[in-house]
Chains A and B, each alone.
Chain A
């Protein structure tokens, strides 16, 4: 038996199929992953993401610490509530994890959400680096987290919360998060739809989940979460990047704040790689015929002997065909095929994302 979130019984009551996910017993789906996916694209779905790790950074050096720790620059968070996506890199520029950091003045600093599967190494690294700074790191294991996502998510979440909480939701711009009592509400997500990620005391999670159910928000499992994020062109740590891959090679170049003198871990390696020429890039692939691309399949090119590899592949319920992310040589051209079960199947290379706000977006 793995660890269980405060919502474990709620998942069973909703008919969940439970699987092990990084040591946690989590719902993979509640009957049909595709239906759950479609609900999020068309209406509102909710995910239990309580397995994710929440860490607060406080103290006089909180900002300086995060500026040194992260490849993106928290100085960009010019007002309370703003949030930032960043990689946390090792000295070689490899991605230890990707995370979201919210500027949370009311909590005395910043709130950071990191992945569950990487929790231990993340905390070890963050604790090691904080020694030089007058700052504190506090894990918040008593928080549950529910992601409410979809075009109707915000409206339905407002109906399921108190007037005071609804007022906070109302004032959030996209990619902002604010506390409300002992709740913390972020207008963020991992689906390519509008919506919220709400951190809440574990003891209140079941009541809030039920209130969302009453507003017609449908439970969605980790299976749908994966197809939604892939359609949205969002990386999955461990699939699309890891400690051996730099942000340049993981479609995360946009998260690198390199323009000023700020020193951060991995910066020298990133600059050297750029100088030498970046060898690989992450691209989107679309399969316009039948079949489904899967991670680790080989990508072969018409005009080059070099090969690439699918890092994440799935069937896209929105597009009704297979889509994938692949790491490919930067100079191998665009005409390519994927080796699917011994057969070279031609695919189209596209610019991600594949889907935003319910609609196909690539050319």
Chain B
């Protein structure tokens, strides 16, 4: 069974979101997503400083099986990206919730956080 940590928020397109509390959220892909993708071989990240809108495709994960878009779960500015993922894309498989975060967004619409799914709601999406 895929792990779905209770303390995180989610979107149905299989990204997780951690609220860092200072108007910044960290985003990655879920355990369920990495299982479906299979071995990840390339990751393409957004540019730091770019403005993104909720639901924009802003990153790409290539696995042995397919290329998948990663969507911005919230609107705002990209303030940091996880460059280590470019050299070690396999971390997206082995530690999706830890070292394999993708990018951090400085929220422009704090209220968008209310639309995110809880762990239970996301678990229902995965069934």
Contact = CB atoms under 8 A, between A and B. Distances in A.
Interface of A: 17, 28-29, 32-34, 223, 227, 290-292, 294, 314-315, 317, 341
Nearest to A226: B64
Secondary structure at the A interface, as helix, strand, loop or mixed, is mixed
Contact of A290 (B38, B42, B64, B90): B42
A34 B39 contact: yes
Nearest to A315: B41
Contacts of B90: 34
Interface of B: 35, 38-39, 41-42, 44, 60, 62, 64-67, 90, 93
Contacts of B41: 34, 292, 315
A229 B47 CA distance: 37
A28 B35 CA distance: 12
Nearest to B42: A290
Nearest to B62: A292
B67 A315 contact: no
A341 B67 contact: yes
B29 to A, nearest CB: 17
Contacts, number: 36
Contact of A294 (B38, B44, B60, B66): B66
Contact of A29 (B38, B42, B44): B38
B67 A314 contact: no
A33 B39 CA distance: 7
Most-contacted residue by chain B among A17, A34, A314 (CB, 10 A) = A34
A315 B38 CA distance: 12
Given A34-B64, A294-B66, A315-B62, A223 B38 contact: yes
B42 A227 contact: no
Contacts of B39: 32-34
B67 A292 contact: yes
Contacts of B38: 28-29, 33, 223
Contacts of B42: 290-292, 315
Contacts of A227: 64
A32 B93 contact: yes
Given A32-B39, A314-B64, A315-B42, 12 more contacts: A29-B38, A33-B64, A34-B41, A34-B90, A223-B38, A223-B64, A223-B65, A292-B62, A292-B67, A294-B67, A315-B41, A317-B64
Contacts of A315: 41-42, 62, 64
Contacts of A292: 41-42, 62, 64, 67
B67 A290 contact: no
Contacts of B60: 341
